[in-house]
Amino acid sequence: MAKNKKSFMDTMSDLAGISDMIEQLDFFEGNSTVHFSLSRDKYQKLLNHFREVDRNKEKFIISISDIDFIFSLKK
């Protein structure tokens, strides 16, 4: 069975949906963080979609509303 490949915009839309769901939870107050630890291949693939990211770093953050999505290189 073939894998269902998502486009970059689909992935960003999914992150926005996750952000909306977290914001709707009553017991959270302030900022929240979601952390993804990615293999080198997946990290580089995601990183290639951004221009304003320091490519020498091993992590970067995308903020959607009050939710920080941290993407780091798995060691």
Q: Answer whether residue 28 shows pLDDT above 70.
A: no
Task: Give the confidence band of 58 by pLDDT, cuts at 50, 70, 90.
Answer: very high
Domain ranges, ordered by start, for the chain: 32-75
Q: Which residue has the tokens 């992590």?
A: 59
pTM: 0.78
On average, the pLDDT of the chain sits at 85
CB contact at 8 A, 18 and 34: yes
Q: Answer whether residue 31 shows pLDDT above 50.
A: yes
